[in-house]
Amino acid sequence: MAAGEILLQKFGKTKIAVQKGAHDFATDADIASEKMIIAAIRKKFPEHDILAEESSKNYQPSTKNCWVIDPLDGTKNFHFGLPNWCVSIALQEKGKSVIGVVYAPITRQLFSARLGGGAKVNGQKITVSATQKISDALIVVEIPRRHTSGKRFKQDVAAFTKSLEKIRRVRAFASAAYDLCLVARGAADGYLDFSRNTKIWDVAAGELIVREAGGKISDMTLAYLKFPDISVLATNANLHAQLKAFL
């Protein structure tokens, strides 16, 4: 929440601090938020590992306790003044998330989960939806990225287009961590990631929140979420088999 306050102070006033590629960047807000979070964790847990989006470029997955941090998920939304962005922090033990917290400062929603302890928003228990059919579902998506290779992009667009035909309603908010929380609290019935470019820090907290709310989440390759690149499928559990078959 302290990181969220830093971001609110910078919202609408950011500068691009690091150009990470032709289609990706970090702002001064990303950097300030991450530094604050890391300093707070180091103070209390100096022996733990940290995997953070802006400062862990060559990190390898740890077998120790590891904090996985996205200081600002939805950077482009934030930079251009759109409200869909959040802070995401998870604690992983041997590569599995055991604590997850996602904070959306604009809406003052604090999502949290502890392994085996359920999921909450602002202290109130949340559960996934009860929707049974994808033809009745509202699904949030991460749309295909144009900068993927030509053939792959065409495949992704074809799959995305087919999803528009099969699913009742589709939304795209471009913040994976927050999108997963929408699934967890039943505002959306599922999440499909057509980007092929999601990172573990985008979903480490959200995946635990989804599971603890009664949902199901996997890589679209049907493996456990791994480092570094992920294509996420998350649902209210009822729809998981149907969406796997569809994909």
138 and 104 co-located in one domain? no
Which CATH number is 201's domain given? 3.40.190.80
Residue 119 sits in the same domain as residue 66: yes
Tell whether 97 and 19 lie within a shared domain. yes
Which CATH number do you get for residue 112? 3.30.540.10
12 and 103 housed in the same domain: yes
Same domain for 139 and 113, yes or no, is no
pLDDT at 129 over 50: yes
Q: Among 125, 158, 193, which residue terminates a domain?
A: 125
Render pLDDT for 216-228 as a digit per residue (tens, 0 to 9): 998 765 445 555 5
Structural domain including 98 reads 2-125
- Same domain membership, residue 149 and residue 115: no
Pick the more confident residue, 155 or 134: 134
Contacts of 131 (CB under 8 A, 6+ apart): 137, 138, 189, 236, 238, 239
pTM over 0.85: yes
Tens-digit pLDDT profile for residues 62-107: 668 999 999 999 999 998 999 999 999 999 998 889 999 999 999 9
- Please provide the average confidence, as pLDDT, over all residues in the chain: 87
How many structural domains is the chain composed of? 2
Last residue of a domain, one of 94, 125, 156: 125
Residue 164 and residue 103 share a domain: no
Interval 2-52: pLDDT, tens = 999 999 999 988 777 666 655 667 889 999 999 999 999 999 999 999 999
Q: Which pairs from 105-112 meet CB under 8 Å and 24+ separation? A: 105/1, 105/4, 105/5, 105/7, 105/8, 106/8, 107/83, 109/181, 110/1, 111/181, 111/184, 111/185, 111/205, 111/206, 111/209, 112/209
- Please say which residue of 103, 125, 147 terminates a domain: 125
Distance separating alpha carbons of residues 44 and 200, to the nearest angstrom: 23
31 and 114 in a single domain? The answer is yes
Q: Are residues 51 and 119 in the same domain?
A: yes
- Asked if pLDDT for residue 121 goes beyond 80, the answer is yes
Q: Are residues 113 and 139 in the same domain?
A: no
Q: Which of the 8 DSSP states describes residue 117?
A: S
pLDDT of residue 60: 64
Q: Are residues 12 and 117 in the same domain?
A: yes
10 lies in the same domain as 98: yes
